[in-house]
Amino acid sequence: MTISDTLLRVRMLTVGFPNIHGPNEVVKSLDFDVARGGALGIVGESGSGKSMTSLAVMGLLPKGAKRTGSIEFDGTELTALPERAMRSVRGDRIAMIFQDPLSSLNPYYTVGTQIMEAYRSHRTGVTRRQARNVAIEAMERVHISDAARRVDHYPHQFSGGMRQRVMIAMTLSMEPELIIADEPTTALDVTVQAQILDLLAEIRADTGAGLILITHDLAVVSEVTDHIVVMRDGDLVEQGPAERIFTDPQEPYTRMLLDAVPRIDDEIGLLRTVSTEEGR
């Protein structure tokens, strides 16, 4: 891959929480790329280091974390950027969607106000009216019907799936080049999950933004992404084209993750749910 096809290039990324017992690494020397307009899935069970990887990219690691390695975004080394410059990359060029939209939305402001504020904080010289139109357009793009009215509603007036759409609308209004979605559908029921995934795929196709989709569900990533990184205990277990990882996993751990995916059994045609239903 040449530089120009690569949107994000991560090399030897290590995240640790050093303590008296040692470096306590939770992400260990990780290498991966996100192609321009590409979608990368990061999968692994709870605690494998998926969120720490994405927070390391965003420069939002918790206090006490130590990050080493290289994170090159569109040719810029993010690890060398001062916080001020990093702040303008965040939100404006790289945006993040979290698992629980309620924790990212303020209950005391209408969703419209929040989308408008987010948009205006990254654009200078935007009037309220312009920002409001951007908010309504963004809500229409994520298929919230009656957006011109719903823009004045508060987060609690939306269902979980609709709130996640609002978060995605907020992200879209910034026109980011890379969207990082950390378990964006885990808190939602299965039907709504599928709708949100379709929406992410649609947005990717429409905007050409790169996507990193983080989940513990291999079936979810294989539908939406074209390349998959499998993590365990901070290590990269294997990576490759989504299709190949899903149909021909090379590592026993990946096979185990696949077995945890509910699927139709070929021979008896029974729905086999090996995994726990936690998180749904």
Q: Rule CB under 6 A: is residue 69 a binding residue for ligand ATP?
A: no
- Scanning 49-57, 71-79, 118-126, 251-259 for contacts with ligand ATP by CB under 6 A, the matching segment is 49-57
The single residue among 13, 34, 40, 52 that binds ligand ATP, judged by CB under 6 A, is 52
- Scanning 48-56, 148-156, 221-229, 266-274 for contacts with Mg ion by CB under 5 A, the matching segment is 48-56
Q: Given the complex with ligand ATP, which of 110 and 186 has the nearer CB atom?
A: 186
Distance (Å, whole) CA 254 – CA 259: 9
Distance (Å, whole) CA 204 – CA 172: 10
Q: Given the complex with ligand ATP, which of 63 and 149 has the nearer CB atom?
A: 63
**If we measure between CA atoms, which residue out of 208, 200, 202, 205 comes closest to residue 184?**
200
Find all residues with CB under 8 Å of 129, minimum gap 6, and list them.
Answer: none
Which amino acid belongs to residue 53? T
Which helix (H) or strand (E) segment is 243 a member of? helix 242-247
Q: Given the complex with Mg ion, which of 51 and 239 has the nearer CB atom?
A: 51
* Residue numbers 49-68 binding Mg ion by CB under 5 A: 51
CB of 140 to ligand ATP, least distance (A): 31
The distance from CA 24 to its chain's CA centroid, rounded to whole angstroms, is 25
CB of 155 to Mg ion, least distance (A): 22
Distance (Å, whole) CA 240 – CA 246: 10
Q: Rule CB under 6 A: is residue 18 a binding residue for ligand ATP?
A: no
Q: Rule CB under 6 A: is residue 28 a binding residue for ligand ATP?
A: no
Q: Rule CB under 6 A: is residue 41 a binding residue for ligand ATP?
A: no
The single residue among 48, 193, 239, 254 that binds ligand ATP, judged by CB under 6 A, is 48
**If we measure between CA atoms, which residue out of 234, 237, 236 comes closest to residue 67?**
234
Distance (Å, whole) CA 186 – CA 188: 5
Q: Which residues of 76-101 are buried (b: 16+ CB within 10 A; e: fewer)?
A: eebbebeeeebeebbbebbbbbbbeb
Residue 241 binds: one of ligand ATP, Mg ion, none (C-beta under 5 to 8 A by kind): none
* Residue numbers 203-222 binding ligand ATP by CB under 6 A: 216
CB of 236 to ligand ATP, least distance (A): 13
* DSSP secondary structure code for residue 216 in this structure: S
Site string for ligand ATP, 215-254 (x = CB under 6 A): -x--------------------------------------
Distance (Å, whole) CA 13 – CA 28: 7
Residue 44 binds: one of ligand ATP, Mg ion, none (C-beta under 5 to 8 A by kind): ligand ATP
Distance (Å, whole) CA 207 – CA 210: 9
Residue 147 binds: one of Mg ion, ligand ATP, none (C-beta under 5 to 8 A by kind): none
Query: Which pair of tokens denotes residue 183?
Result: 């378990």
Q: Which residues bind Mg ion (CB under 5 A)?
A: 51
